[in-house]
Amino acid sequence: MNASLWERLLDAGLVDGAEPQLEAPRPPWYVSLLLALSGWVAALFLFGFFGFAALTLLQTPMLSLIVGAGIIGAAMAIFRGNGNDFVQHLGLCASLTGQGLLIWGVFSLTEPNFSATWVFVLMLSVGLAVSMPHALHRTFSAFSAGCALAMTLTHFGAPYIHNAIILAAAAWCWLNEYRFPRWIGAMSAIGYGLVLALVALIVIGLYGYDREVARLVGTDFAPWAAPWHGELLMGLTTLSVVAVLMRRAGRSVLEPIGIAALAGAVVFVIVSLEVPGITAGFVVMVLGFASQNRVLVGLGLACLLFFCGNYYYFLAETLLYKAGVLLCVSAVLLLGCWVHRRFVRPAYVLESS
């Protein structure tokens, strides 16, 4: 800022104090990426060195636990120190290694009974998502927490309800993003992690890998949750999100517009029974628009497009049946568009005038 402008602002009483110094221009994203890559490569070589030098670490579970916890503590200190991108990514790699050692220690101590391990992994991921002061780490930990929740619930006999819980948690983060000022960055980082976990788990379910995951996880519990429990919870989460957004827009769900909005949400929930993933994509897109977050809107749109396209490979029904379903959905959506333009939008215009 040039001196005369600052003086004019001072004279007008709009600012006070000394003229602020110009910050150095922030380097472009690819410079940060170069630093991040260097950090990861250096960290991997460093841990290769430690791996060679300290093989006994992996052979002693208690030592693995202690060293893992110590490395995570060191990573937290690095993040709190606010170093450059290189140091931050070194800390990220260190934290991941510490978590690996910690989980390996718990795994070795509790085998062959893994109930405690899955609960521990879930609690560790949630704890790190909340406590680690680094956006990318929070996103990664939230993603791990989502996956850990799926594995924990699968282990305890409820493999169908994790998607709804993750969607509800993600919706809570995005709907309350600005409610706690000190946590604005943390809420969005955790929100992204949960959304990515949700998408990954839906894709895993679509391609049938959830059965492989269930076999990997192992369980001693009889299944107590049915697929419709998960669909019902997804539906309730969707309706809750729509109801909260209606309330924030100053509308009651009992008004005609509120009923229409809920009816539209119910249509998406019903369609999602045929075309898996549609509800999740719709909710993510709506949350993105409510937060004015283009990345989230884009992610929701990409999910919708992907899951719609993937419907082609849903082999339980013929292409003719699927074409019929899509035609009916199209008719309902275009009818909804006509109703909105003919009745709802004019009512908005009348009300605001």
Partner 1 sequence: EWSSFIDKFLLWMGVLAATLAVMFFIAFNWDDIGRFAKFALLQALIVAVVLLCVTQRQRRALWQAALAVAAVLVGVLLALFGQTYQTGADPWQLFATWAGLILPWVIVASLGPLWLFWLGLINVALMLYHHASPGSALFFGMHSEFAMWWMLFVVNSVALVIWELASLRWDWLRDRWAPRLVAVAAGGPITFLALTTVVELEANGFWRVVLWLLWAAISFVVYTQWRRDLFMVAGLFLAGSLMALTFVGRVILESFEAVGFLVLALLALGLGVGAANALKKLHQRWSE
Indicate whether 348 belongs to the interface with partner 1 (CB under 8 A): yes
Least Cβ distance, residue 345 to partner 1 (angstroms): 5
Q: Which stretch binds partner 1 (CB under 8 A): 148-156, 158-166, 229-237, 305-313?
A: 305-313
The answer to whether 174 contacts partner 1 (rule: CB under 8 A) is: no
> What is the closest distance, in whole angstroms, from the C-beta atom of residue 26 to partner 1 in the complex?
9
Q: Which stretch binds partner 1 (CB under 8 A): 119-127, 162-170, 227-235, 343-351?
A: 343-351
For residue 137, give both structure tokens: 């780490």
Contact pick of 1, 5, 7, 34 for partner 1 (by CB under 8 A): 34
Whole-angstrom distance, CA of residue 353 vs CA of residue 46: 67
Residue 116 vs 339, nearer CB to partner 1: 339
- Binds partner 1 (CB under 8 A): choice among 1, 5, 31, 259: 31
Q: Which of 295, 111, 103, 328 is nearest to 196 (CA)?
A: 295
Task: Identify which of residues 181 and 309 has a Cβ nearer to partner 1 in the complex.
Answer: 309
Instruction: Please report, for residues 115, 253, 347, the alpha-carbon distance to residue 256 in angstroms, rounded to integers and kept in the order given.
Output: 49, 8, 11
Nearest of 62, 103, 94 to residue 76 by alpha carbon: 94
Q: Which of 3, 18, 24, 350 binds partner 1 (CB under 8 A)?
A: 24
Which residues 238-297 are close enough to bind partner 1 by CB under 8 A? 249, 285, 289
| 3-class secondary structure, 134 | coil
Tokens of 139: 């996103």
- A 10 A CB-CB count for 29 gives 9
Amino acid identity at 351: E
Neighbour-count burial of 281, counting CB atoms closer than 10 A to its CB (0-12 exposed, 13-18 middle, 19+ buried): buried
Short-list 106, 148, 36, CA closest to 98: 106
Is residue 178 near partner 1 by the rule CB under 8 A? no
Indicate whether 344 belongs to the interface with partner 1 (CB under 8 A). Answer: yes
How many Å apart are CA 303 and CA 117, to the nearest integer? 32
52 binds partner 1 per the rule CB under 8 A: yes
Q: For residue 277, which of 194, 214, 200 has the smallest C-alpha distance?
A: 200
Q: Kindly list the residues in this chain that would bind partner 1 in the complex (CB under 8 A).
A: 24-25, 27-28, 30-31, 34-35, 37-39, 41-43, 45-46, 48-49, 52-53, 84-86, 249, 285, 289, 304-305, 308-309, 311-312, 318-320, 322-324, 326-327, 329-331, 333-334, 336-337, 340-341, 344-345, 348
